[in-house]
């Protein structure tokens, strides 16, 4: 198993890098091009879809590890649909039903691992998976943030599973995904030669949420695992609340995330913002792992404290930006 693991890690990193390199080189000819607009955080056309190497690594690892088809095929299908969307810009009215279908397929067929106890619980898990996939995609807006988050998040999933004596295959898969993100990262960070695209970000979000469902045996596990993606969840939830307050269409593109304010309005380098999010992710994830033996209340309290700190930082940045425009 150790030899297989090492080979999987190496090949996953190579696939992540090769996919980014090839799309960076041929993306213009393939029509995989992200053209900047007034909501973009970049200023020149850049190839997108570089996450195809992460998809290749995910499929390769799943096959080598002989993971259940019900686990990896919905995610792979959704990533391929997202790759098509990278080229042809699919409407949310097309993407969302397919994402829901993939989540339903996954949950129905893994019922022997986690049987939904009620219709409401099943709906909650479906919403959780689809939301995580989309939120990961929404947060992929500056250089390096999606890749760094993938490295940290999936590494923490592997650590959790090892500490819980879970199925070793999912630990290996998580590390493989982290290595594929590591292979991708040099092409997107600190300067972006290629973007991950929906094919990579939707895949990472969907697989992360699927692993959370698979590895959770109770509410305590679920809360701890969710904490491994804390910066993305916190930023997206706060941004959604602000946009709902301002009566904005949630399906329309925007530039109102905290990380976007930091990079665009406050002119902080992309790499600094991405690294800061990664460090926050490590701080929250490691803290949750350490406090997990003390029970649900302790983990909830920890996450509430971090969320309040994040909310304060969010408020401070937005007030500072607004004050600049009012001068």
DSSP annotation string for 104-127: HHHHHHTTTTS--SSHHHHHHHHH
- Rounded to 5°, the CA angle 198-199-203 comes to 100
8 Å CB contact between 74 and 102: yes
Residue 27 pLDDT greater than 80, yes or no: yes
By percentage, how much of the chain surpasses pLDDT 70?
A: 93
Position 113 confidence tier, pLDDT thresholds 50, 70, 90: very low
Residue 236 pLDDT greater than 80, yes or no: yes
Position 92 confidence tier, pLDDT thresholds 50, 70, 90: confident
Distances (CA, A) of 162 to 66, 116, 174: 19, 25, 11
pLDDT in tens, 147-180: 999 999 999 999 999 999 999 999 999 999 999 9
pLDDT in tens, 1-17: 666 788 899 999 999 99
Phi, psi of 34 (to 5 degrees): -100, 110
pTM of the model: 0.94
Residue 325 pLDDT greater than 70, yes or no: no
């Amino acid at each position: 198993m150790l030899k297989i693991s090492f080979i999987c890690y190496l090949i996953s990193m190579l696939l992540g890098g090769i996919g980014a390199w090839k799309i960076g080189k041929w993306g213009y000819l393939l029509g995989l091009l992200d053209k900047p607009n007034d909501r973009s955080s970049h200023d020149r056309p850049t190839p997108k879809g570089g996450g195809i190497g992460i998809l290749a690594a995910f499929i390769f690892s799943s096959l080598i590890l002989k993971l259940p088809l019900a686990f990896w095929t919905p995610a792979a299908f959704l990533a391929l649909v997202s790759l098509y969307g990278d080229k042809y810009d699919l409407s949310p009215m097309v993407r969302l039903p397919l994402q829901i279908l993939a989540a339903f397929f996954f949950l129905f067929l893994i019922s022997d691992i986690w049987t939904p106890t009620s219709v409401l619980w099943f709906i909650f898990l479906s919403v959780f998976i689809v939301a995580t996939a989309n939120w990961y995609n929404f947060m992929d807006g500056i250089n390096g943030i999606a890749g760094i988050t993938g490295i940290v998040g999936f590494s923490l999933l592997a650590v959790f599973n090892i500490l819980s004596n879970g199925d070793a295959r999912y630990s290996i898969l998580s590390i493989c995904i982290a290595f594929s993100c590591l292979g991708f990262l040099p092409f997107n960070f600190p300067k972006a030669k290629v973007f991950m695209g929906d094919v990579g970000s939707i895949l990472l979000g969907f697989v992360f949420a699927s692993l959370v469902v698979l590895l959770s045996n109770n509410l305590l596990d679920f809360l701890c695992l969710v904490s491994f993606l804390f910066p993305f969840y916190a930023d997206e939830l706060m941004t959604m609340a602000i946009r709902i307050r301002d009566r904005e269409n949630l399906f329309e593109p925007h530039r109102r995330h905290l990380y976007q304010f930091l990079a665009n309005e406050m002119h902080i380098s992309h790499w600094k913002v991405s690294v800061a999010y990664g460090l926050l992710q490590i701080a929250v994830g490691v803290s949750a792992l350490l406090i997990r033996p003390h029970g649900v209340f302790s983990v909830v309290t920890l996450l509430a404290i971090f969320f309040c700190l994040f909310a304060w930082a969010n408020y401070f940045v937005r007030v500072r930006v607004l004050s600049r425009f009012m001068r």
